[in-house]
Amino acid sequence: RLASSAAAQTRWRAPTMTIAILGAGAIGQLLAHQLASSGCQPLLIVRPDKCCQPLQKFTLETRNGSYCRMFPCLAIDAAAAEFSNINLLIVTLKAYQVVNTLLALLPKLSQHCQLLLLHNGLGPHRQLIPLLAGRGLSLGTTSQGALRIGERQIRHTGSGITQLGDITGPAMPKKLQSQLLQAIPDSEWCDDIMPALWGKLAVNAAINPLTAIDNIPNGALAEKHYQQQIQTVIAELVKIAKFEGLSLDNDTLLQRVNQVISLTATNYSSMQQDIQHQRLTEIDAINGYLLQLAQQHDVELPVNQSLVAQVKCLQTQLMRCSH
C-alpha cells in the first residue's frame, strides 16, 4: 500500500515550470538562491565565456551562514532547443543591455514564455513591446541588497520589498506568480505596477547621479545643499509623470528618497560604483528616461538635464582613460 501511494504521488506531481534567469549578477544570483530555497531549480543563462560547465557552484552569504548550491547554466548562444522549455525568463541585466540581448534571444524562446524585467530605471520595455510577438511582459522592482564578492559568490546585504506586475500581453500565469511570491521575501503582486516603478525611479534619479558626480556615499545627500537639488529632481519627475497620466505625490516621494538615504547611508550607489569602476552607467534609463519623456511632451527639466550631462561627461572621460 505504501509503495502504491508513493507511486501515485510520483504520478500526480504537478508539472514544474522552468524559470530561467538571464544576467547572473548580484540580483540574478540572489533570486536564483531564493528560488532554489523554495523548491524551484532555476536555470542561469550566462555569457558563453562564463559557461565552462553545465552545473556550477554558487555561494550566498547571509547573516545566518553560507549556502552553496549547484545551478544548471546555459550559454546564451546555445542551440534554440535548449531554450524552448523556459516558462519564465527573469531578466536581471543592466538596463542598457536588455534590448540588444533579448533581440538575439527572443526568437529562441517559446511563444508562451513570459518575460519579467528587473532593472534600475525605465524605458527598455517600450522598445521591447513591439518585439514580443504575443508573449507576456511583466516588470518589477526590488529593494533587496546584494553585493557580488566573487564570480559566483554574493552577500545578501539587505532586505527590502520586491514589487511585480504585468505590463502587456498575457498575464503572468498564476502558478509562476505564486512561485515567485513564495520564493522572494517581502514580495507582492501589483495590479498596477507603474506607481511602484516610478517610486523606485524617483529614488534612483535623486540618489544615483549626485553620488556618482561627487563620489560620495548615499548618506552625504542628507546635507542641505544636496537636499535642495533632490527637491528639484523630484519636482521635475512629478511634473513629467503627470504628462504620462500618473499622479505622484511630491512629499511622499521625497520622504521615501530620504528614508533610503538614511537606511543606506554608508553604501555607495550603483552609479557611483559604475563610475569608479569605469563602467557604463544606467543614466539613460534613470534621469535620461525623464528627459526622453520631457522631449516627447515638449517640457524642460533643467536639473535632470544637467545631471545627465555631468554623468555622461564623467562616463566619457573615464572610458577614454581606460582605453
Amino acid at 278: Q
41 vs 229, beta carbon nearer ligand KPL: 229
32 vs 271, beta carbon nearer ligand KPL: 271
Spatial CB neighbours of 230, under 8 Å, sequence gap ≥ 6: 206, 210, 221, 254, 257
Q: What is the dihedral of CA 118, 25, 265, 322, to 10 degrees?
A: -110
Spatial CB neighbours of 139, under 8 Å, sequence gap ≥ 6: 116, 117, 118, 125, 164, 165, 167, 193, 197
- List interacting residues with ligand KPL (CB under 6 A): 120, 203-204, 207-208, 218, 260, 264, 267, 269-270
Cell of 303: 536639473
Q: In the complex, what is the shortest distance from the CB of residue 219 to ligand KPL, in angstroms, rounded to a whole number?
A: 10
Q: In the complex, what is the shortest distance from the CB of residue 41 to ligand KPL, in angstroms, rounded to a whole number?
A: 29
Q: In the complex, what is the shortest distance from the CB of residue 241 to ligand KPL, in angstroms, rounded to a whole number?
A: 19
56 vs 204, beta carbon nearer ligand KPL: 204
Q: Is 108 a catalytic residue?
A: no
132 vs 210, beta carbon nearer ligand KPL: 210
CA dist., res. 132 & res. 125, Å (int): 10
Catalytic residue among 50, 57, 200, 224: 200
Q: In the complex, what is the shortest distance from the CB of residue 193 to ligand KPL, in angstroms, rounded to a whole number?
A: 17
Closest CA to 113 of 75, 151, 141, 85: 85
- Enumerate the active-site residues: 200
